[in-house]
């Protein structure tokens, strides 16, 4: 190393130090209460909302509040009525009736017309370190979206048609969502790590006509063949055409002449202009399949105007997005978080965001922090499971990078424990940035509980209060509202927020049974919660059979269904086991048709089978071959007891009413139960 380069390195190190110590303090510590934080004066000045009275004002006139927010968007025709709800069927509610709106227009044209066409809409960071990041401006994105929209029209796609999207985190993903929105088509995204079988189920149920996919993508340095899965997903479905993005030249794909079209070829000669299809506010913008308590994922239906209104205002207020922000939501667009905060939210605000293709630990555990440093990320939105993974990897990784650009940290997906919260706050945020813990669901479409960055307080493990104009209550099993301080079922009271789901695709009965049956007149979240200090809500987790595995939503029933399809398995029961990094992992009790076939090879085979049916996210962490599982007299599996066994709970509860209480003793041996907690 020459003297010059040593000096240059020293100067660089010094710069890092200086800028780190220059980071603005966006929070202050409560003088009396430990680990309670409030927005600093700087934050209050910068925040869109800093007056706590806005909560009360919005609550006094909820419809009025939402109408005011919706008015910040572009409507081709204003609504005739703000809100309507069937008094006998609370699930039949509508927002902004008669209003005509287009989501793509609001995410693109609105900003371009305001002179922001040259502003960067997103920076795409590819996984391979030798590939350069790509900046896409609002005007460029608009052109791309329109070309694709025109190409889709030529393939016969019309308003209301369903379009499957099975893409990795590449720029074409964002363009595809918006191209559907542009022409009023309904997108149905399937997470790229899901299997071909999952794609097929979802395309069949949705009766999709077109699939947009890619030939592959990079994961931990390796190109993966996505087209192979897509081919499985298309076969035997009503899909007529497949548009394929060429992400890499390293993969040779199977080509179905006449059906498959290269993305770059099909858009090449299309016009960069396309008329927006202004749809009625309550028309469908998209559907997204998610796990419920039963075996089959359900197609959650979202409308256009209501969804966009809530996506817009929660992105703007909760992340306090301004023109100088670089917002990074690390979620994949395969999940609702990626839809709302990786696409519609920040784009409807006109913000600049970052889209990252890769895994968090490639090429090393410092990759994310390097991205934060290099792109001067100001708002980072991620999940507790990732935070726990980084805690384990060690503080040396984030310490290598200058993250003084950060202003706000967000968390989503599961309850965040105190250790993860404080580590995120101190090590990533340098004790300067609020952690905004956002509670919501695929069903709610956007944040429904959190604290506002300019209002606070920020308290570890506590999500916050109902967002402006959203009213939550806690209920007891019997249906009465819980007394203050008593834990209960978390439910939303009417008017239901505009971003809320409008149904389960083609299954109204399931919609009613799942969300509207336990308590009268309110939306049942299936989460438990309690009120804490300052009237804030602490969400404790699901009260049904939905697991959160590394932040991914998965039902025990779905996994059981997949496993039961293996020819050697007669029956199975899946329960979650707490896991230090992933939050929960699935544990399988499998009953074989022929017990003598039990072997380690069969375990591997079952894991492979799960990969094929659902995808690697659902991989069981452990498979026990057993002869029996506890059942009720009516033959239903008592998962409560299996859960207790797996968690080593001291009290397994009453087993005397079981059909087969004797099997519990045997299971204790199998899982090594001691009852020690
Ligand atoms: C859980 C993710 C506690 C909750 C946006 C919910 C949370 C389910 C939080 C929805 C949070 C999400 N605190 N729990 N901040 N955020 N959850 O549909 O159990 O993938 O019902 O949507 O995640 O998961 P989904």
Closest approach atom of ligand 1 to CA 546: 19
DSSP-derived 3-state class of residue 56: helix
| Residue minimizing CA distance to atom 1 of ligand 1 | 414
**How large is the average pLDDT for residues 527-543?**
94
In a mutational test of the pocket of ligand 1, which residue from 189, 539, 555 has the highest number of ligand atoms less than 8 Å from its CB?
539
**How large is the average pLDDT for residues 299-316?**
98
**How large is the average pLDDT for residues 49-75?**
98
pLDDT at 505 over 80: yes
Q: What is the dihedral of CA 471, 477, 479, 483, to 10 degrees?
A: -60
Within the chain, which residue ranges are assigned CATH 3.40.50.12780?
53-134+277-534
pLDDT value of position 20: 47
Lowest mean pLDDT of 306-315, 486-495, 625-634, name the range: 625-634
| Residue minimizing CA distance to atom 22 of ligand 1 | 441
Q: What is the dihedral of CA 426, 428, 432, 435, to 10 degrees?
A: -90
Residue with tokens 């179905």: 256
Question: What is the C-alpha separation between 59 and 470, in angstroms, rounded?
Answer: 7
CA 359 to ligand 1 center in whole angstroms: 22
pLDDT value of position 305: 98
pLDDT at 130 over 90: yes
| Residue minimizing CA distance to atom 15 of ligand 1 | 439
pLDDT at 599 over 90: yes
Mean residue pLDDT across the chain: 95
Lowest mean pLDDT of 143-147, 312-316, 483-487, name the range: 483-487
pLDDT value of position 21: 46
CA 466 to ligand 1 center in whole angstroms: 14
pLDDT at 645 over 50: yes
**How large is the average pLDDT for residues 270-288?**
98
pLDDT at 630 over 50: yes
DSSP string, 357-371: -S-TTSSSTTHHHHH
Tell me if the pTM is above 0.75: yes
Closest approach atom of ligand 1 to CA 526: 21
Closest approach atom of ligand 1 to CA 551: 20
**How large is the average pLDDT for residues 1-27?**
62
Question: What is the C-alpha separation between 294 and 283, in angstroms, rounded?
Answer: 27
621, 589 contact by CB (below 8 A): no
pLDDT value of position 19: 44
In a mutational test of the pocket of ligand 1, which residue from 333, 441, 549 has the highest number of ligand atoms less than 8 Å from its CB?
441
User: Residues 6 or more apart from 120 whose CB is under 8 A from it?
Assistant: 135, 136, 137, 138, 352
Binding-site residues, ligand 1, Cβ < 6 A: 290, 335-337, 412-415, 437-442, 463, 525, 527, 539, 541-542, 548, 553
pLDDT value of position 63: 98
pLDDT at 77 over 60: yes
Question: pLDDT tens for residues 404-433?
Answer: 999 999 999 999 999 999 999 999 999 999
Question: pLDDT tens for residues 353-365?
Answer: 999 999 899 999 9
Reading the block at residue 137, the tokens are 């401006």
Question: pLDDT tens for residues 378-403?
Answer: 999 999 999 999 999 999 999 999 99
Place 8 in a pLDDT band, splitting at 50, 70 and 90: low
- CATH of the domain spanning 53-134+277-534: 3.40.50.12780
Superfamily designation of domain 541-671: ANL, C-terminal domain (3.30.300.30)
pLDDT value of position 315: 98
pLDDT value of position 634: 86
pLDDT value of position 273: 98
**How large is the average pLDDT for residues 303-321?**
98
**How large is the average pLDDT for residues 580-587?**
95
Closest approach atom of ligand 1 to CA 437: 15
Which of 365, 422, 419, 371 lies closest to 397 in space, CA to CA? 365
């Amino acid at each position: 190393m020459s003297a010059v380069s040593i000096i240059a390195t020293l100067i660089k190190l010094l710069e890092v130090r200086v800028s780190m110590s220059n980071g603005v303090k966006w929070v202050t510590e409560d003088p009396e209460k430990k680990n309670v934080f409030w927005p600093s004066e700087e934050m209050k000045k910068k925040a869109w909302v800093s007056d706590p009275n806005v909560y009360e004002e919005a609550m006094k006139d909820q419809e009025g509040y939402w109408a005011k927010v919706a008015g910040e968007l572009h409507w081709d025709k204003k609504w005739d009525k703000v809100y309507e709800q069937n008094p006998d069927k609370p699930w039949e509610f509508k927002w902004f009736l008669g209003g005509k709106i287009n989501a793509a227009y609001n995410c693109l044209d609105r900003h371009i017309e305001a002179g922001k066409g040259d502003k960067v809409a997103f920076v795409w960071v590819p996984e391979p370190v030798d590939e350069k990041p790509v900046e896409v401006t609002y005007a460029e994105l608009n052109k791309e979206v329109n070309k694709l929209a025109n190409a889709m029209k030529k393939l016969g796609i019309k308003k209301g048609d369903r379009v499957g999207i099975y893409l990795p985190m590449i720029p074409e993903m964002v363009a595809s969502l918006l191209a559907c929105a542009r022409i009023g088509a309904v997108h149905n995204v399937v997470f790229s790590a899901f299997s071909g079988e999952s794609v097929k189920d979802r395309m069949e149920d949705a009766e999709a006509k077109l699939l947009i996919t890619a030939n592959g993508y990079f994961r931990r340095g390796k190109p993966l063949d996505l087209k192979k899965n897509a081919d499985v997903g298309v076969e035997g479905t009503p899909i007529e055409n497949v548009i394929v993005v060429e992400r890499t030249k390293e993969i040779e794909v199977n080509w179905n002449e006449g059906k498959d079209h290269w993305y770059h070829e099909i858009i090449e000669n299309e016009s960069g202009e396309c008329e927006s299809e202004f749809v009625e506010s309550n028309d469908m913008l998209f559907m997204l399949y998610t796990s419920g308590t039963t075996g089959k994922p359900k197609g959650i239906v979202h409308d256009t105007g209501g969804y966009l209104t809530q996506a817009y205002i929660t992105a703007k207020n909760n992340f306090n997005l301004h023109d100088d922000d670089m917002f990074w939501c690390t979620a994949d667009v395969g999940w609702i978080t990626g839809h709302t905060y990786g696409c519609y939210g920040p784009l409807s605000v006109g913000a600049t965001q970052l889209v990252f293709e890769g895994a968090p630990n490639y090429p090393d555990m410092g990759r994310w922090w390097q991205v934060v440093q290099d792109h001067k990320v100001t708002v980072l939105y991620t999940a507790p499971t990732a935070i726990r993974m980084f805690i384990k990897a060690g503080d040396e990784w984030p310490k290598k990078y200058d993250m003084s650009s950060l202003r706000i940290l967000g968390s989503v997906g599961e309850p965040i424990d105190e250790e993860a919260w404080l580590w995120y706050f101190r090590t990533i945020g340098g004790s300067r940035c609020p952690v905004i813990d956002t509670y919501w669901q695929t069903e709610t479409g956007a944040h429904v509980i959190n604290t506002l960055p300019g209002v606070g307080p920020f308290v570890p493990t506590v999500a916050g209060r109902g967002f402006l104009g959203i009213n939550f209550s806690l209920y007891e099993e019997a249906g009465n509202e819980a007394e203050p301080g008593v834990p209960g079922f978390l439910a939303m009271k009417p008017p239901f927020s505009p971003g809320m789901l409008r149904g389960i695709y083609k299954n109204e009965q399931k919609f009613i049974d799942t969300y509207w049956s336990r308590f009268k007149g309110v939306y049942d979240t299936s989460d438990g919660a309690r009120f804490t200090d300052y009237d804030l809500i602490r969400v404790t987790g699901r009260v049904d059979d939905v697991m959160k595995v590394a932040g991914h939503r998965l039902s025990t029933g779905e996994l059981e269904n997949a496993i039961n399809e293996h020819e050697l398995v007669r029956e199975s029961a899946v329960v979650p086991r707490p896991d230090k990094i992933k939050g929960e992992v699935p544990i399988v009790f499998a009953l074989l048709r022929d017990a003598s076939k039990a072997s380690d090879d069969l375990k591997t085979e079952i894991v492979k089978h799960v990969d094929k049916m659902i995808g690697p996210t659902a991989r069981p962490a452990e498979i026990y071959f057993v002869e029996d599982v506890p059942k009720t007299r009516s033959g239903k599996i008592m998962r409560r007891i299996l859960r207790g066994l797996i968690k080593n709970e001291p009290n397994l509860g009453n087993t005397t009413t079981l059909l087969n209480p004797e099997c519990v003793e045997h299971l204790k041996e199998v899982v090594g139960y001691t009852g020690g907690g």
